[in-house]
Amino acid sequence: MRHRLFSFSQQSTRYVNFAKDVFFIDDGTHGENRNIWAYAMVRAAETYRDLIEAGEKPEIAKAVLPMSLATKIVVSGNVRQWRHFLQLRACESTGKVHPQMRKIAVDILGEFHRLYGALFGDLVI
């Protein structure tokens, strides 16, 4: 959430009960360690469900869920803010970007090229 001029609305893990469906993001960055990561995700989901079944509230049980937990987020900003974000994160104007954030930024830039080519067409990966 470094881009403070944006407006963020994110799904709260406090009020969502993940007992039925826990979704994790496998972005492919784990390579040959993917099995280790996948095992940890399965164990986290099982532990969460065990806590819920034991009567724990979702807002407490969520403490065992990892950062790979999928969430929904809506980001609002003006053209200037989006251009700045995309220059930093998709075009890597200031250096290497975390692979997960870069993938998101590249996907957004692709959509903006398609929808608003005149405003974002000069930004290239």
Nearest CA-CA partner of 22 in 59, 66, 82, 54: 66
Q: How far apart (Å, rounded) are the C-alpha atoms in residues 102 and 13?
A: 24
Give the pLDDT confidence score for residue 17 in this predicted structure.
Answer: 77
Give the pLDDT confidence score for residue 31 in this predicted structure.
Answer: 86
Residue-wise pLDDT for 11-32, tens only, equals 887 777 787 776 787 877 788 9
Give the pLDDT confidence score for residue 5 in this predicted structure.
Answer: 84
Angle between helices 79-89 and 99-115 (to 10 degrees): 140
